[in-house]
A and B are shown apart, each in its own frame.
Chain A
């Protein structure tokens, strides 16, 4: 079955370009993405005018990037190609034989591509999925430890498809050497993984680095790494290239320290900080997996993100997806684009369809801004809403709607709502509760654990059994907002909830903590 909003590759081969465009336009007209809803014409998604604390020129660059803009990830897709297998440092949360769940890169056992294969794959995907606006290189190793392969790929793509934005993720060790090349390729986003700014902390995260033809260990290694990272970041900022910082939160090692990291990177011009939970299990074969280092709980992670939020923009929707993933965030279509299939494909880069689609999305996004304002005034009527704040888990397939069956959800988006409004604060991955039509008891428990800090879960549909169990666990299963817009529904639920509390029908209670699912994210 194809995800709803675009056509699959087989269909394209059957229909041909003109019909494809018609069909796309129809589909867009039908579901309207995050735009107006059928009933009241209210909007639901984030504003198109950009966050208040972001400079307009920065917003202009990031608004269509699914990783950087919470709103864009409803409409636009990115892909990663695995052309860079070598790495120049070792992290304790990574075993390069396998997929790394922390740094969004596949293991070296995954499909490796030459720059030529990678370029062809990108063009094939971009022609099939007009939302594909971003190409990233993030691994399997470090892109800048493989500068020839990385830059060759960029060169090939920028020639044929200049409208695709290029970005790369690096550990930063080699960054200062390549900033000029990065600038020449018009790369406007670089992600640096910064887990520490203090070598005392760093020595517990990095056993060694390979630098200037030598292997360095301990404090020396961490000292060189942090100096190079900060130097690289400053150089990017000086050239107007956007930098996002990724940090892996490792309880007991760098959790407190990340507040300091946040200050250090902000003062050097980073525009976004993404704190991700350590993902660690013995079967990953990593140092942290084997020595039992635990990852943070959902509330620990949220508390740290909240602590840093006053300082700068936090990115909450990162799913730590694999570096060879294709698709809208949270959905992976890479199986359609394996090397065999690509080799057999005739690729015609279709710039016009892409442009048409992207223009439509733009109009739709503009339309949401005014409606969003109306919603705010609605909420203002609630005054302080008794100081109540709720977390709500939402089962969604995208387009900003409550449109997933509880049993089919491989993740829940979490919204926080209070009298000031609703905001997206993260997502929780779960194992599918329902496999082949019947639910399994064990996985229901893990779902409950993953959303245990939420007051309600919004679904398109839910069976009787899980419904009762959720109620027993104190989570309100709600299907009355099926196929409606998320933020609107969240606000409606909240107003109703506050009303019931005021009428004395229910008493408001805060909820406990929740688990973070371990393991790399490969969307089903």
Chain B
């Protein structure tokens, strides 16, 4: 699995973007999106998913169940 951003809730504040250890987050049409291929759920880097920790709107950065759980190498 990877994380995803619920576009309708995202304020476009960019707080998450610089915190991602994998540069998985980028801006698209005023809101931010996560590239699921790059997201490691912060495993191997931090205890907390950084996008979740930094985001001011609850339940905006959430697990994308469309992807299998990330396995640390």
Contact = CB atoms under 8 A, between A and B. Distances in A.
Interface of A: 85-88, 90, 96-97, 108-109, 112, 140-141, 145-146, 210, 213-215
B11 A97 contact: yes
B46 A141 contact: no
Interface stretch (B33-41, B50-58, B62-70): B50-58
Contacts of A90: 56
Contact of B12 (A108, A145, A213, A215): A108
Nearest to B15: A86
Contacts of A108: 11-13
13 contacts: A85-B11, A85-B14, A86-B13, A86-B54, A87-B13, A96-B11, A97-B57, A145-B15, A213-B46, A213-B53, A214-B46, A214-B47, A214-B53
* Chain B contact patch, size range: 10 to 19
B contact patch SS: loop
A146 B13 CA distance: 10
A461 B47 CA distance: 65
A422 B39 CA distance: 63
Contacts of A215: 48, 52-54
B14 A87 contact: no
A491 B59 CA distance: 58
Contacts of B52: 215
A82 B15 CA distance: 15
A215 B12 CA distance: 19
A96 B56 contact: yes
Contacts of B15: 85-88, 141, 145, 210
Nearest to A216: B53
A434 B53 CA distance: 48
B70 to A, nearest CB: 18
Contacts of A97: 11, 57
B48 A213 contact: yes
Question: What are the nearest 10 A-B pairs in CB distance?
Answer: A86-B15, A215-B53, A108-B11, A85-B13, A96-B56, A86-B14, A210-B54, A108-B13, A86-B13, A213-B46
A145 B12 CA distance: 14
A146 B54 CA distance: 13
A187 B4 CA distance: 39
Contact of A214 (B13, B17, B48, B57): B48
A215 B53 CA distance: 5
Contacts of A96: 11, 13, 56-57
A287 B69 CA distance: 35
Nearest to B50: A213
Contacts of A145: 15
Given A85-B13, A86-B18, A87-B56, 11 more contacts: A85-B12, A85-B14, A86-B15, A86-B17, A87-B13, A88-B15, A90-B56, A96-B13, A108-B13, A145-B15, A210-B15
Contacts of B47: 214
Contacts of B11: 85, 96-97, 108-109
Interface string B3-23: 000000001111101110000
Contacts of A87: 13, 15, 56
B13 A141 contact: yes
Nearest to B56: A96
B14 A146 contact: yes
A323 to B, nearest CB: 14
Contact of A213 (B13, B17, B19, B57): B19
A86 B46 CA distance: 20
